[in-house]
């Protein structure tokens, strides 16, 4: 069975970028001014982050063109392949149609759920802070393969060009399951400590390439400059099984 086609080739997506430039701005905003340290974030119509601020007024993404999202490559048991990538700041979208958005508890509430294609094959869920983790954003992507007689596998990466404390130059470092960009304060991207998951940093920033992941990068444990944090997963989904990948951003 050939893989389900979810969008045109990356080249076509880049050519279409001009028509989507307005889609890299805030569509859903969540603010927590009474947290121990005030915190806010907002999400685009594509389910990517357009801003996260803590304290409010200090943006840890580029305020003019935030670069944050997913990039990945999927293959199937019949030799088909397709990318699932969505990084509006680089002009990369998973197709011409916006995802179906759900807010189960009503407008202005979390979780925020994006169904790319509207058919349940690629579903993202965004959860915000709780009483303990008051400056966290947790983003979960669930991939659901075809319902029978199929096998999908690949690599998926969550990536962001971080500007800690609003600075384009910062210190970047990572461990096996957490990547950091920081000046005085910073941002950590972490993944669960599971087999098949890892984190990394890239001084070249987010590329949008389907093969940008912490398995393929030349490891640079520490550097100073502009850069990206990323978390990657090796995944497989067979005969309709679901595979979920969860990344957490934390301002510290």
**What residues does each domain of the chain span?**
10-251
Eight-class DSSP state of 58: -
- So what's the pLDDT on residue 43? 98
Q: Picking from 12-16, 163-167, 179-183, 232-236, which range would have the lowest pLDDT averaged per residue?
A: 12-16
- So what's the pLDDT on residue 241? 83
State which fold the 10-251 domain adopts: Beta-galactosidase; Chain A, domain 5 (2.70.98)
- 156 contacts 243 by C-beta, under 8 angstroms: no
The residue-averaged pLDDT of 228-233 equals 97
- So what's the pLDDT on residue 147? 67
Q: How many CB atoms lie within 10 A of CB 249?
A: 24
The residue-averaged pLDDT of 132-146 equals 91
pLDDT at residue 225 above 90? yes
pLDDT band at 54 (very low <50, low <70, confident <90, very high): very high
pLDDT at residue 187 above 90? yes
Instruction: Name which of 36, 106, 41, 62 is nearest 205 in CA terms.
Output: 62
- Token pair, residue 172, equals 């970047």
How far apart (Å, rounded) are the C-alpha atoms in residues 182 and 165? 8
- Strands 68-76 and 170-174, bridge-based pairing: unpaired
- Token pair, residue 236, equals 């497989």
pLDDT at residue 29 above 90? yes
The residue-averaged pLDDT of 75-90 equals 85
pLDDT band at 237 (very low <50, low <70, confident <90, very high): confident
Instruction: Name which of 85, 120, 99, 92 is nearest 27 in CA terms.
Output: 99
């Amino acid at each position: 069975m050939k893989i389900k086609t979810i969008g045109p080739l990356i080249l076509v997506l880049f050519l279409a970028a001009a028509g989507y430039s307005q889609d890299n701005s805030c569509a859903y905003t969540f603010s927590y001014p009474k947290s121990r340290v005030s915190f806010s974030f907002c999400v685009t119509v594509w389910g990517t982050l357009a801003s996260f601020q803590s304290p409010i007024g200090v943006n840890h993404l580029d305020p003019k063109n935030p670069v944050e999202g997913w990039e990945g490559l999927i293959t199937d048991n019949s030799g088909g392949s397709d990318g699932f990538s969505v990084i509006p700041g680089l002009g990369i979208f998973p197709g011409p149609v916006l995802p179906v958005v759900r807010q189960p508890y009503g407008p202005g509430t979390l979780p925020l759920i994006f169904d790319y294609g509207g058919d349940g094959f690629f579903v993202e869920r965004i959860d915000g802070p709780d009483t303990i983790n008051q400056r966290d954003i947790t983003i979960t992507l669930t991939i659901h393969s075809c319902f029978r007689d199929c096998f999908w596998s690949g690599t998926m990466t969550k990536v962001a060009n971080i500007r800690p404390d609003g600075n384009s130059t910062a210190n970047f470092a990572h461990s096996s399951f957490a990547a950091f960009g920081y000046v005085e304060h910073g941002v950590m991207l972490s993944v669960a400590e599971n087999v098949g998951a890892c984190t990394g940093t890239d001084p070249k920033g987010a590329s949008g390439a389907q093969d940008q992941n912490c398995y393929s990068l030349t490891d640079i444990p520490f550097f100073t400059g502009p850069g990206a944090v990323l978390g990657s997963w090796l995944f497989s989904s067979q005969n309709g099984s679901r595979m979920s990948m969860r990344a957490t951003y934390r301002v510290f």
